[in-house]
Amino acid sequence: MASIYNNIGSVYNSLGEYTKALAHYQKAIEIQEKTLLSTHIDLSTSYSNIGITYNAMGDHEKALESHKKFLEIRTKSLPSHHPDIDLSYNNIGSVEIDMGHYTKALWYLEKALEVRDNCDAGDHVGFANVYDNIGRVYQSMDDKLKAQSNFQTALEIRKHSLGENHPDIANSYNNLGTIYNLMEEKQKAIEYCEKALVIQKQSLSENHPSLANTYNNIGLIYHSMKDNTKALSFCQLALALQLKSLPEGHPSIATTYNNIGLIHNSMKDYPPALSMYEKVLSIQQNAMPVKEQSLGITYYNIGSTYSLMGNCAQAIRFFERALTIQQKASPPNYKDLVNTYNIIGRMYNEMNDYEKAISFYERSITICKDHFANAEQLLATTYHNIALTYHATNDLLKALPFYQQTLAICMKNPSVTDLSLAHIYSSIGTICDSMEDYEQAISYYQKSIELEENENPKNDLFLSTIYSNIAAAYKSLEDNPNALAYYEKALTSQERSSATDHSSLTSIYKNMASIYKSMGNYSDAVTFYRKAIGMEEKELASYSDEATLSNTYSHIATVYSSMGDKENALLCYQKVSAIKEKLMSPNDPSLLPIYTNIASLYLSTERKSDAAKYFEKSLRIQETLPSPDYSLTHALRIKTAQIYESFKNYGVALQHAESYVSEASSVLGSDHQTVKATQDYIESLRRVTT
């Protein structure tokens, strides 16, 4: 009867219905404890079944307890070097792996291998499972070569014991495919998984769940190769098979939904990704018992999707749910905690809540320092995040030391992080730039360029930005030849890029024009301002674009004026006037200098009527200002009066001159030099009219 309960339990276990499986295994034990000796092997088998089930449910402590009872019975009832003893050590080692206790796991697994070394069962197929678990340990510890070696040994044992086409051989091929994928040997990874698929199709039923596992593995390899179309195709094959062969809420189906969600995220197809993760969540929440750790991972994945969608508030909501579960875990997975604190910090950073962002980053650093002997990768990431946050708040003195700490870690061991040294040097350069330490800024920028040119020479837009930054620093040092040389390099990088940044390109043109203007090289200044205008006119799409265009026309107008090219200067100022009149109120103060310049150009070309019209526009704006510039008012009034005087329109000329005296005498006093000079001018006009 006990064996029947055990068999029924195994069926429920295979269906993922662990609570029912456990109930049947417990009934088997109740019968066996009444009818068998406490050292009977059948009793140990039931404990083993219970241990495997508890482990699948995520209750690792109870799993360990059951596996240790299994070991106790086996060591009492079998010779010390019996091959079946290795199964006990192997099962305990497997649980320790799932708990993240890799050193303990290795101890138990090596004990299992001692059994092999002390008996004549070196090629016993059970030892393949031990080598597989040792491979899992090393894979978790990121020692890929040792993981691959142990998976390979497991394969050789299985081939020797089982032949070439046994389903367990397919498991070995899958393990090797997974590790070769992590070793970035993608083609070899696919080849091993395809070998697994061939065996499974020959030896298993067409809807066997193991096929779905292989389809998932192949899908994940293609995903890592960024071939998401193929990745999605294989994971969908896995899902279709599982929906036919497994109950609706089986954990393996949740795994496949999760993989499909991951792929949709990579394709920036966020709503389908969320839909998949919600299906995962539904399965996990309805499982008996609920596996909190799995729920935490799904909450994290949903949070990540919302973060990619730019919905930071919703992302934080799910990340904090994941964090709550991670904080309750026993023992805690400190690496997961650090990553979650970091990403929540990033979300607050993007929401401009910098104080909260720093608070989460600091918690991350505390964990790193308290719980890791070597946490350089995690610390580098967190220091960098803090530096970026302080940089965003323009607190440069606080940002700088965190950039420097990040840099120190990355220089000591570049492989510990995927952070770009070139970008860190560039960030430090921008801080030195902002602090007006231009020579130091140039030094950091040049280090950035040296690294980027060696490691990523096709990153033209980044290189262009750094060349522009160096040029700007040289410009601030008034080293115009070097500034121009680096702007030319920036220009070359921009023009070489397949994704030209029009805004940056326009900025380079204008900066070069400005330098040429300051050097008195007006011809080249005009050439580059014209290039900038050409770019800006193509990109007109908003208020700010038109305002920028008017500013560039204003600059080129001053160059034409300096060249004595009054007609082109006038045309450019008129362009400025037309844009500003469309964007602003008629009396906007920024129109005053434009109208004045247009008036002066008309006057210098003897178009006095037009000059008077624009001087009067300037005066109307000047009259609206709360604190008028009376020296400018005087100049405008007198020039306008003189124009009307030249037309023999003495009445209007008098009005302008008298208006100035009326406006200025109450502020400057009747004895002020310009007031007295204007009064003299008024007298001369009156004499002419009498």
Residues 57 and 3 in one domain: yes
Residues 9 and 71 in one domain: yes
Q: What b/e string do you get for 497-511 counting C-beta neighbours within 10 Å, with b at 16 or more?
A: beebeeebbbbbbbb
Is residue 66 pLDDT above 60, yes or no?
yes
Residue 305 is predicted with a pLDDT of 98
Say which residue, 654 or 501, is predicted with more confidence: 654
Q: Domain of residue 6: give its range.
A: 1-77
CA distances from 328 to 321, 377, 646 (A): 11, 24, 91
Band (24; pLDDT cuts 50, 70, 90) = confident
Q: Which residues contact 206 (CB under 8 A, 6 or more apart)?
A: none
Residue 546 is predicted with a pLDDT of 87
Domain annotation covers residue 46 = yes
Is residue 542 pLDDT above 80, yes or no?
no
Is residue 121 pLDDT above 70, yes or no?
no
Residue 416 is predicted with a pLDDT of 61
Q: What contacts 24+ positions apart, CB below 8 Å, involve 213-218?
A: 213/174, 213/238, 213/252, 214/170, 214/174, 215/241, 216/255, 216/256, 216/259, 217/174, 217/177, 217/178, 217/193, 218/177, 218/190, 218/193, 218/194
- 485 vs 74: CA distance, rounded Å: 80
Residues 72 and 85 in one domain: no
The greatest distance separating any two alpha carbons of the chain, rounded to the nearest whole angstrom, comes to: 141
Tens of pLDDT along 432-484? 999 999 999 999 999 999 988 887 877 888 999 999 999 999 999 999 999 99
Is residue 368 pLDDT above 80, yes or no?
yes
- Domain final position from 46, 77, 108: 77
Residue 177 is predicted with a pLDDT of 97
DSSP-based three-state secondary structure for 81: coil
Tens of pLDDT along 664-684? 888 888 889 988 998 999 999
Is residue 122 pLDDT above 70, yes or no?
no
Domain annotation covers residue 528 = no
Band (119; pLDDT cuts 50, 70, 90) = low
Residues 8 and 70 in one domain: yes
Q: What b/e string do you get for 568-581 counting C-beta neighbours within 10 Å, with b at 16 or more?
A: ebbebbebbbebbe
The fraction of the chain above a pLDDT of 90, given in percent, is 61
Cβ pair 40, 77 in contact under 8 A: yes
Residues 10 and 31 in one domain: yes
Q: Does the predicted model carry a pTM greater than 0.85?
A: no
CA distances from 19 to 11, 23, 540 (A): 12, 6, 66
Tens of pLDDT along 581-591? 999 999 999 99
Domain annotation covers residue 20 = yes
Residues 97 and 144 in one domain: yes
- Structural domain count, the chain: 2
Residues 4 and 72 in one domain: yes
Phi-psi region for residue 20, left (φ > 0), alpha (ψ -120 to 50) or beta? alpha
Band (127; pLDDT cuts 50, 70, 90) = confident
What single DSSP character describes residue 436? T
Tens of pLDDT along 141-188? 889 999 999 999 999 999 999 988 999 999 999 999 999 999 999 999
Is residue 7 pLDDT above 70, yes or no?
yes
Is residue 81 pLDDT above 90, yes or no?
no
Cβ pair 319, 344 in contact under 8 A: yes
Residues 72 and 133 in one domain: no
Domain annotation covers residue 245 = no
Residue 28 is predicted with a pLDDT of 79
- HEC per residue, 456-483: CCCCHHHHHHHHHHHHHHHHHCCCHHHH
Domain annotation covers residue 101 = yes
Residue 602 is predicted with a pLDDT of 95
- 19 vs 253: CA distance, rounded Å: 18
Residues 101 and 126 in one domain: yes
Domain annotation covers residue 89 = yes
- 586 vs 584: CA distance, rounded Å: 6
Residues 63 and 13 in one domain: yes
- Domain final position from 32, 53, 77: 77
What is the rounded average pLDDT for all residues in the chain?
A: 90
Residues in the chain: 690
Residues 61 and 93 in one domain: no
Say which residue, 338 or 542, is predicted with more confidence: 338
Supply φ then ψ for residue 649, to 5 degrees.
-95, 75
Is residue 661 pLDDT above 60, yes or no?
yes
Q: Residue 331, preceding bond cis, omega within 30 degrees?
A: yes
Residues 55 and 127 in one domain: no
Band (137; pLDDT cuts 50, 70, 90) = very high
Band (33; pLDDT cuts 50, 70, 90) = confident
Mean pLDDT of 57-62: 78
Mean pLDDT of 197-214: 92
- 674 vs 635: CA distance, rounded Å: 10
- Domain final position from 18, 42, 77: 77
Which of 225, 161, 217, 130 lies closest to 187, judged by CA?
A: 225
Q: Which residues contact 442 (CB under 8 A, 6 or more apart)?
A: 429, 470, 473, 474
Identify the CATH number of the domain in which residue 50 sits.
1.25.40.10
Domain annotation covers residue 121 = yes
Q: Which residues contact 291 (CB under 8 A, 6 or more apart)?
A: 57, 58, 284
Residue 22 is predicted with a pLDDT of 84
Q: What b/e string do you get for 42-61 counting C-beta neighbours within 10 Å, with b at 16 or more?
A: bbbbbbbbbbbbbbbbbbbe
* Termini Cα distance of the chain: 136
Domain annotation covers residue 47 = yes
Q: What is the token pair recorded at 606?
A: 């003897």
